[in-house]
Chains A and B, each alone.
Chain A
Amino acid sequence: MVLLVSCSCLIACGGPKAVRGEDVAGLDDQAMGTGLDRYDLQKLLHENMEALQRSAVIKRWQSENQPTLAVIPIRNDTSEHIESALESLASDIETALVNAGHVRIVSLERQGQIMEEVRKQYGDAFDPTTVARWGKQSGARYFVTGKVFSTDEMFEGERRVQYSLFMQVLDAETSDVLFQYKSTLTKAIVR
């Protein structure tokens, strides 16, 4: 009886409750802040992968019979703590490339030394000799990398963050940029 009364009180009070995405229509579509959520990641990934599919580098990979490729973590140059979202995006890129069947993926996650060096290189552009060494160490013929920038502004009780994701495909031996594409996305808190 007490439990029943407590439960009815909780429902009547309309307090917070846990739900599943499929239980609430449009839950995953609703923006909860100015960070990047799954919806945003899918949009950015979709645009970039479509552009990649149309690019000349795909024909090159097809002629090379599934060359090896590694995805370097995407650099966060924004004003939001979206590191975990970008890790997720890098994994999504790997998944999309593996499933497309053009390349074989070499994971850098277990290559601690390279990952450490990647993080230290975050401040400036990748040095060609370093990229070549990473290629030899990891066995990757190509690298996919990227960076996300943001323009963040506040004005009269509103905040707008404009994201730009640059994705690149690098030749590990020469550091030549074989593909580059930019996709954009805006998140905001408005009145």
Chain B
Amino acid sequence: MESTFRVRGLVGWLALVTVACGGHAATTREARTALDVGDPNEALRLLDERLEVDSPSEVPEDLDSSNVLYLLDRSMVLQELGKSKLSSHDLEVADKQLMVLDFSRGATDELGKYLFSDQSGPYRAPAYEKLLVNTMNMMNYLSRGDLEGARVEARRLSVLEQYFKNSGEAKDAFIGPGSYLAGFVFEKSGQPDEALRYYDEALQAGKFQSLSDPIRRLAAVSSYRTPRISALLADTAATDASSSASPALPADGTSVAGSPDFAEIVTIINYGRVPPKVAERIPIGLALTYASGALSPNDQARANRLAAQGLVTWVNYPRLGKPRGQWESPSAAIDGQWQPLDGALAVDREAKKAWDAVRGAVVASAITRTIARIVAGEVVRKSTNDGALGLLLSLGTQATLTALDTPDTRSWSMLPARIAIGRTRVRPGVHWVYTNVRGQRLKRKITLGPRQWIVIVDTVLR
């Protein structure tokens, strides 16, 4: 009987260590696997289980770092399932909580990162994740035709952009899709100046062929100009003059010119998944290479010395896994005619860039912790005059510290790898919209009146 308890205790301890070693990412592996096999309902059930709630409409009372990340993941699964209101709710709760977590992170958390565990302290989301919270929620509001809610998200995005620009964290690419959508929101809200300002920001981030026609229409009623907008207008005018073909034909082939009552269909396709972080043990030599420049000369020398003595051979650290679906080409057609899609953002590439920027520091902290464990063990051993008991206590100290050391694999792992946007003006009436995303084919019948618009959001996280 006693041995049974011992075995159970050992199994429990091993389970704890295994979870601790895998970190947050290990707790979402099953849900990600469910998405891989095209079962978002199962992924949703597993995330609800993690959040310890009975339904997707519930939010846990305790909104710690892990639960906020589960909420972010759940919001994307809900978007895939077409439950945009619930997705919005999760994103709004997580948005506020991310800010609180960010603001509450203090010096002791940074110290803990170097002494105990990479995962100590509240989660600090990288800039691209924070900006995508508002971008994704703008998609939710637009899919419901709710311009007022979308405008709030556009303004929140602007506040964050400004903050990141001031702090030097934001890169242009991050703001591409958000600014594109914010421009659309203000265009449809009848605020052409504001719309052009956002479209200009989107053009700063990347090439959006689908913006040429809207910018030209807006420029006819607004005097807002920037060098980029003026250049685009000049290019379009030159193309029109030299080409006999009619410009930007709507799906049914009718000319846009002189057709203010045309309706508009916007297709947003979110597909694939960003690379998750994965806990990994790497040889100390490789870790020292990664951390070169981020490690103090003293720690570098100490780590080399311990490695030479064979006391440190492996270092636990979080590695970036593989993205999914980034090479896929989604397609969209309206009434049988294929529509061009702009590649709005390669989220997986931004995730990799963000990771590469901090990898050295992360590995450096992992090496520092490893050294601290060895040193702590040595102190215990020497305090007991190098006896057998001291050796055991030393090993115990190191084992405890190792078990506590969890590589920080926290991230918003259910973000799509890529975002593509297409928009087409169509005659008022009935239209058929086809999309093909990662093998998932959808066919929708939509009816639009004069000047009406619809935003279709297809999210496939497989």
Residue ranges of A at the interface with B (Cβ–Cβ < 8 Å): 16, 33, 76-81, 83, 119, 122-124, 150, 152-155, 157-159, 189, 191
Given contact pairs A81-B92, A83-B148, A123-B189, A189 touches B156 in the complex (Cβ within 8 A):
no
Q: How far is the CB of A12 from chain B (nearest CB, A)?
A: 17
The reply to whether B160 and A154 contact each other, CB–CB distance below 8 Å, is yes
C-alpha spacing A191/B191, complex, angstroms: 37
Report the bound CA distance from A158 to B158 in whole Å.
16
The chain B residue with its CB closest to the CB of A158 is B103
Q: Are A78 and B152 in contact (CB under 8 A)?
A: yes
Task: Judge whether B2 is part of the interface by a CB distance below 8 angstroms.
Answer: no
- Known contacts A81-B92, A124-B191, A189-B99; decide if A119 and B148 are in contact (CB<8 Å): yes
Residues of B within 8 A of A (CB): 61-62, 92, 96, 99-100, 102-103, 147-149, 151-152, 155-156, 158-160, 162-163, 166, 186, 188-191
Q: Which residues of A contact B189 (CB under 8 A)?
A: 122-123
> A122 vs B163: C-alpha distance in the bound complex, in angstroms?
28
Q: Please give, as numbers and ranges, the residues of chain A lying within 8 Å of B148 by CB-CB distance.
A: 76, 83, 119, 122
B213 shortest CB reach to chain A, Å? 20
| A69 smallest CB distance to B (angstroms) | 24
Closest to B160 in A: A154
Q: How far is the CA of A119 from the CA of B146 in the complex (A)?
A: 10
CB nearest neighbor in A for B156: A79
| Contact across chains for A123 and B190 when beta carbons are under 8 A apart | yes
Contact A191 B103 (CB under 8 A): yes
Chain B residue, CB-CB nearest to A161: B159
Closest B residue to A124 using CB positions: B190
Q: Chain B residues with Cβ under 8 A from A159's Cβ?
A: 99, 103
Contacts of B61 in A (CB 8 A): 16
Q: Known contacts A33-B96, A157-B103, A189-B103: does B191 contact A81 (CB below 8 Å)? A: no
A154–B190 CB distance below 8 A = no
Q: Which A residue's beta carbon lies closest to that of B134?
A: A79
Contact of A152 among B103, B149, B155, B191 (CB under 8 A): B155
Report chain B residues within 8 Å CB of A189: 99-100, 103
Q: Is the interface of B mostly helix, strand, loop or mixed?
A: helix
* A76-B148, A122-B148, A123-B190 known; A157-B102 Cβ under 8 A: yes
Distance, CA A154 to CA B130, complexed state (A): 13
The closest CB in chain B to the CB of A35 belongs to: B96
Q: Please name all residues of chain B whose beta carbon is closer than 8 Å to the beta carbon of A83 when the two chains form the complex.
A: 148-149
Q: In the docked arrangement, what's the CA distance between A122 and B96, Å?
A: 26
Distance to closest chain A CB from B130 (angstroms)? 11
CA distance A25 to B243 in the complex (A): 74
A77 contacts across to B, CB distance below 8 A:
151
Q: Which residue of A lies closest to B194 (CB)?
A: A123
In the complex, the chain B residue whose C-beta lies closest to that of A153 is: B159
Contacts of B188 in A (CB 8 A): 123
Q: Which of A33, A122, A152 contacts B159 (CB 8 A)?
A: A152
Give the one of A79, A80, A158, A191 with max B CB within 10 A. Answer: A79
Q: Determine how close the nearest CB of chain B comes to the CB of A126; give it in whole angstroms.
A: 12
The answer to whether A123 and B191 have CB atoms under 8 Å apart is yes
Cα–Cα distance between A81 and B156 once the two chains are bound (Å): 10
CB distance from B127 to the nearest CB of A (A): 12
Residues of chain B with a CB closer than 8 A to A157's CB: 102-103
User: Which residues of chain A have C-beta atoms less than 8 A from B191's C-beta?
Assistant: 123-124
Is the Cβ of A81 less than 8 Å from the Cβ of B160?
Answer: no
| Distance, CA A45 to CA B147, complexed state (A) | 26
- CB-CB under 8 A for A122 and B155, given A16-B61, A154-B160: no
* Closest chain A CB from B323 CB (angstroms): 30
B155 & A78 in contact (Cβ 8 Å cutoff): yes
Please give, as numbers and ranges, the residues of chain A lying within 8 Å of B166 by CB-CB distance. Answer: 155
Shortest distance between the CB of A184 and any CB in chain B (Å): 18
Instruction: Give B72 Cβ to nearest chain A Cβ, in Å.
Output: 17
List the A side residues contacting B163 at CB < 8 Å.
154-155
Inter-subunit contact B96/A79 (CB<8 Å): no
Given A154-B159, A157-B102, does the pair A81, B190 have CB atoms closer than 8 Å? Answer: no
Q: For B99, what are the chain A residues with a Cβ–Cβ distance below 8 Å?
A: 159, 189
The distance in angstroms between the C-alpha atoms of A122 and B190, with both chains bound, is 9
Closest Cβ–Cβ distance, residue A158 to chain B (whole Å): 7
In the complex the two chains form, what is the Cα distance from A84 to B110 in whole Å?
39
CB distance from B60 to the nearest CB of A (A): 10
10 shortest interchain CB distances as A-B pairs: A123-B190, A123-B189, A79-B155, A154-B163, A152-B159, A157-B103, A124-B190, A16-B61, A79-B156, A123-B191
Return chain B residues, CB-CB under 8 Å to A122: 147-148, 189
Most buried by A among B61, B103, B158: B103
Chain B residue numbers with a CB within 8 Å of A76 are: 148, 151-152
Nearest CB of B to A116, in Å: 11
Say yes or no: A80 contacts B152, CB within 8 Å.
yes
Complex formed: what's the CA distance from A83 to B149 in Å?
8
Tell me the complex Cα distance, A80–B153, Å: 8
Cα–Cα distance between A153 and B149 once the two chains are bound (Å): 19
Query: With a CB–CB cut-off of 8 A, which chain A residues contact B103?
Result: 157-159, 189, 191
